[in-house]
Amino acid sequence: MSLIYPVTIPKWGLSMKEGKVNRWLAKIGDSIQVGAEVVAVESDKIAGVIEATGAGVLRRQIAKEDDVLPVGALLGLIADNEVADSDIDAFVAEFQSRFIPGQTEEAESAAGPETLKVLGRNISYLRRGDSGEVIFLIHGFAGDKNNWLFNHEVLAATNTVYALDLPGHGNSDKAIDDPSLEGFVRVIFGFADALKIGQLHLVGHSFGGATSLAAALQGTDRIKSVTVISSAALGKEIDAQYVRGLTRTNSRKELKALVGRLFANEGLVTRQLVEDLLRFKRLDGVQAALESILSAFLDGDQQRVVLSEKLANLAKPIRVIWGEKDRIIPASHAALAGADVHILPNAGHMVQMEAANEVNKLLQF
Amino acid sequence: MARKISFKQAVNEAIAQEMRRDETVIVMGEDNVGGMGSDGERDAWGGVLGVTKGLYGKFGDRVMDTPISESAFIGAAIGAAACGLRPVVELMFVDFMGVCFDQIFNQAAKFRYMFGGKAVTPVVVRTMIGAGFRAAAQHSQCLYSLFTHIPGLKCVIPSSPYDAKGLLIQSIRDNDPVIFFEHKLLYGLESEVPEESYAIPLGEANIVREGDDLTIVAIARMVHMAHQAAEELVKEGIHAEVIDPRTTSPLDEDTILESVAKTGRLVVVDESHPRCNMAADIAALVAQKAFGDLKAPVTTVSGPHVPVPFSDALEDLYIPNPAKVKDAAIEVLRYAK
């Protein structure tokens, strides 16, 4: 029997309650492959694309463009042409009668972010999933665990996934005892110790990539693999003006322009994304924390630490993912000897957000 | 950061965190402790609506009750500020401020200027504003325009719990006298507020929502009226940008002018009396600096030029509401030369 695949409003991150239908990318009657882009949706934080989870024909577009609908709401249906219209109508009626907006929300809110004392400081993290491999997601400079909102749930379907807020970031304590890469590596191992986690995989973005690579170089068997995304520490070049601006400005307008540089498509930057960054930057201690990382990280207008040569002798799987249009750290840095390298077109520095579906497909453990 | 607290709790938390951080911060006002010097329960009131409740238990005599003599205790707070303390003094209703205008307008506002920068006056005067409390003409005004008129004063008017905390922390850290206006109908409003301390700079407007069709500037409780109106307008395909200046002195002119440059149309919603109010001031600003951008005359939404009525029915009619804001927006959009 042919299956009917519903297309629904996804939940991108803890705070997402509803999404706006921006544009249908497939027409009724279009043949749809698994992974094909079906509809563009926007949360208050970010715009994204929903892909088909099953193959067939787009039979119904239930939501109209500009509709604002709760997480989980039915947008459309994919099914083979041989599925009768009456079966599809019955499926819709059944779905709608069972659908209660906010129900998934409440079930999940029980498992919000948690806090752990690591080396005397509070580290905030979000855990999802409880099977397969243990994966740590490490965000970049001035980022936080929400940078993984498109990836975390997907990975957690088959793994146990922790997204951390590094010291000085997100909801973790803002004091940074040691702003060097080694200092952050100690926090990551300390975090794993506190949770009695043995072996794990690291996935790091940008500065978090540099931290992950530095952790792998410590020569322990604990790190099974490292995936770095638009990573620091693989070359000297970096948009130092961006990093300094991000540290020092508190103007909404300047921040918006800076955040735009993170994406190939600046239209993805919503008012809320900039507002959240502003709110983070206003917290006491954040300015000092970012300044301390900056002085350890930058040497003039270049990156101080380059780990590429040391990594050449590392007997561990390394996966490198980059956005071809990265304006912060050039994609040429992806050419790491011995690594499994993927350069994604039409994506900037925040590849894991901008090309989330492609990145998620690459993140196999 | 999913914690939600009320506007009232946000104000209390801001004061408590600054008192913990800086021992020169003190609190004073009528019944800000409640029952001080009597045999009864201490910390009984925390001000007339309980905003400072609990601070006495945490900070003891750094929180004090004052006599019902505004000219005396506002003067004392200003003097204490000039001598090195950072008083957060509560003057129950802004409507009573008249009895201490000299202390505020001629003393606090002028010290830094008249002593050539050698004196600073880091005092925060917290006061309640706003109609809708069924409290009649002497307890319902929004007199921030009066204080905005005086050079040397900073005027801060938060519209949300998040802004209330961050703006109050910044106001306490600021070296100039700040009048901090709290709309009494917002006290129960809840929103997400970080537990950590944070400061929102004075003079930075908040873009509450973005839109290309018209700009609505609104202050204090009116921000919520404007936001509701904007949500109604979306149903008709109209996208309004809503701007909350947050502080009227300093005023973030750039954010307003940039928005009008984009939309060409402006509605200003201000609960204060319509003559010489912030709506008139912002309309004049845009007429002078952005005339060429305007596609329609600026429209203001305020009550009539009368005292706030005591009758429930008349008071409701007096206060601007989302329907009036929406009507003004549609009028501005329909305008044709």
> Peptide bond before B274: cis, by omega within 30 degrees of 0?
no
- State how far the Cα of B71 lies from the Cα of B93, in Å rounded to an integer: 14
Check pLDDT > 70 for residue A215.
yes
Structural domain includes residue B158: yes
Check pLDDT > 60 for residue A68.
yes
Looking at chain A, which residue has its C-alpha nearest residue B204? A251
Structural domain includes residue B197: no
Mean pLDDT, all residues of chain A: 92
Q: Which residue(s) pair with A225 in the sheet?
A: A201
Within this chain, do residues B92 and B226 fall inside the same structural domain, yes or no?
Answer: no
Residue B328 CB contacts under 8 Å (≥ 6 apart), including other chains: B267, B269, B299, B300, B301
SS3 annotation, A255-278 = HHHHHHCCCCCHHHCCHHHHHHHH
Strands A37-42 and A18-24: antiparallel
Within this chain, do residues B38 and B123 fall inside the same structural domain, yes or no?
Answer: yes
- State how far the Cα of B233 lies from the Cα of B330, in Å rounded to an integer: 9
Structural domain includes residue B137: yes
Test A271 with B199 for CB contact under 8 angstroms. no
Within this chain, do residues B255 and B125 fall inside the same structural domain, yes or no?
Answer: no
Shortest distance, CA B201 to any CA of chain A (angstroms) = 9
Q: Where are the domains of chain A?
A: 4-107, 113-362
CA distances from B314 to A198, A343, B319 (A): 70, 66, 9
Q: Do the Cβ atoms of A75 and A62 come closer than 8 Å?
A: yes
Q: What are the φ and ψ backbone dihedral angles of B201, each rounded to 5 degrees? A: -60, 145
Looking at chain B, which residue has its C-alpha nearest residue A278? B200
Placement of tokens 């787009």 in the chain: A58
Test A279 with B194 for CB contact under 8 angstroms. yes
Test A252 with B204 for CB contact under 8 angstroms. yes
- Which chain B residues are closer than 8 Å to A171 by Cβ? 1
Where a domain ends, among B142, B158, B192?
Answer: B192
Check pLDDT > 80 for residue A104.
no
Q: Do the Cβ atoms of A256 and A323 come closer than 8 Å?
A: no
CA distances from A338 to A248, A312, A315 (A): 38, 7, 10
DSSP 8-state class, residue A227: E
Helix (H, G, I), strand (E, B) or coil at A124: strand
DSSP 8-state class, residue B200: P
Within this chain, do residues B145 and B51 fall inside the same structural domain, yes or no?
Answer: yes
Write the ipTM: 0.90
Within this chain, do residues B231 and B305 fall inside the same structural domain, yes or no?
Answer: yes
Structural domain includes residue B199: no
Contact status of A252 with chain B (Cβ, < 8 Å): yes
Within this chain, do residues B125 and B185 fall inside the same structural domain, yes or no?
Answer: yes
- Confidence band (pLDDT; 50, 70, 90) for A272? confident
Closest Cα partner for A262 from A363, A353, A364, A134? Answer: A353
Shortest distance, CA A107 to any CA of chain B (angstroms) = 15
Where a domain ends, among B192, B215, B246?
Answer: B192
Helix (H, G, I), strand (E, B) or coil at A284: coil
Catalytic residue positions of B, numbered: 139
Structural domain includes residue B218: yes
Structural domain includes residue B198: no
Check pLDDT > 90 for residue A120.
yes
- State how far the Cα of A86 lies from the Cα of A3, in Å rounded to an integer: 14
Of chain A, the end-to-end C-alpha distance in Å amounts to: 32
- State how far the Cα of B33 lies from the Cα of B127, in Å rounded to an integer: 16
A116: number of Cβ within 10 Å: 16
Check pLDDT > 60 for residue B1.
no
- State how far the Cα of A1 lies from the Cα of B140, in Å rounded to an integer: 69
Within this chain, do residues B53 and B158 fall inside the same structural domain, yes or no?
Answer: yes
Specify the CATH number for the domain of residue B314: 3.40.50.920
Test B196 with A282 for CB contact under 8 angstroms. no
Check pLDDT > 70 for residue B303.
yes
- Which chain B residues are closer than 8 Å to A282 by Cβ? 166, 198-200
CA distances from A73 to A104, B17, B70 (A): 11, 42, 57
Give, for B299, the enclosing helix (H) or strand (E).
Answer: strand B299-301
Contact status of A15 with chain B (Cβ, < 8 Å): yes
Contact status of A64 with chain B (Cβ, < 8 Å): no
- Confidence band (pLDDT; 50, 70, 90) for B320? very high
What is the torsional sign of CA B64, B127, B13, B88?
Answer: negative
Within this chain, do residues B132 and B262 fall inside the same structural domain, yes or no?
Answer: no
Specify the CATH number for the domain of residue B162: 3.40.50.970
> What is residue A103's predicted lDDT score, i.e. its pLDDT?
66
Within this chain, do residues B186 and B100 fall inside the same structural domain, yes or no?
Answer: yes
- Confidence band (pLDDT; 50, 70, 90) for A271? confident
Where a domain ends, among B142, B164, B192?
Answer: B192
Token pair of B115 as six digits: 């002593």
Test A279 with B2 for CB contact under 8 angstroms. no
Do A4-107 and A113-362 show the same overall fold? no
Shortest distance, CA B131 to any CA of chain A (angstroms) = 30
Contact status of B162 with chain A (Cβ, < 8 Å): yes
For the stretch B103-150, pLDDT in tens is 999 999 999 999 999 999 999 999 999 999 999 999 999 999 999 999
Residue range A4-107 in CATH 1.10.1740.10: no
- State how far the Cα of A318 lies from the Cα of B167, in Å rounded to an integer: 47
A-B contacts at Cβ under 8 angstroms: 32
Which amino acid is residue A108, in one-letter code? Answer: E
Within this chain, do residues B183 and B221 fall inside the same structural domain, yes or no?
Answer: no
Token pair of A21 as six digits: 């239908």
Domain range for B92 is 4-192
Structural domain includes residue B60: yes
Token pair of B142 as six digits: 């929004």
Q: What is the largest CA-CA distance in chain A?
A: 68
For B23-106, strand residue ranges (E) read 25-29, 63-65, 86-93
DSSP 8-state class, residue A146: G
- State how far the Cα of B244 lies from the Cα of B115, in Å rounded to an integer: 34
For the stretch A283-336, pLDDT in tens is 999 999 999 999 999 999 999 999 999 998 888 999 999 999 999 999 999 999
Test B196 with A283 for CB contact under 8 angstroms. yes
- Give the DSSP letter string of B238-259: --EEEEE-SEEETB-HHHHHHH
Looking at chain A, which residue has its C-alpha nearest residue B203? A251
Contact status of A279 with chain B (Cβ, < 8 Å): yes
Q: Do the Cβ atoms of A12 and A63 come closer than 8 Å?
A: no
Residue A322 CB contacts under 8 Å (≥ 6 apart), including other chains: A229, A230, A331, A333, A334, A341, A342, A343, A344, A351
A178: number of Cβ within 10 Å: 15
**Mean pLDDT of the B241-267 span:** 98
Token pair of B213 as six digits: 């069709």
Test A252 with B1 for CB contact under 8 angstroms. no
Within this chain, do residues B137 and B240 fall inside the same structural domain, yes or no?
Answer: no
- Confidence band (pLDDT; 50, 70, 90) for A100? confident
Within this chain, do residues B172 and B253 fall inside the same structural domain, yes or no?
Answer: no
Check pLDDT > 90 for residue B190.
yes
CA distances from A310 to A119, A210, A315, A350 (A): 28, 13, 11, 26
CA distances from B153 to B80, B114, B277 (A): 17, 14, 16
- State how far the Cα of A244 lies from the Cα of A355, in Å rounded to an integer: 26
Q: What are the φ and ψ backbone dihedral angles of B60, each rounded to 5 degrees? A: 55, -130
Test A271 with B209 for CB contact under 8 angstroms. yes
Query: Which of A112, A251, A282 is facing B2, going by the closest CB pair?
Result: A112
The fold of the A113-362 domain, in CATH, is Rossmann fold (3.40.50)
Query: Which of A15, A253, A283 is facing B198, going by the closest CB pair?
Result: A283
Q: State CA A260 to chain mean position distance.
A: 17
DSSP 8-state class, residue A196: T
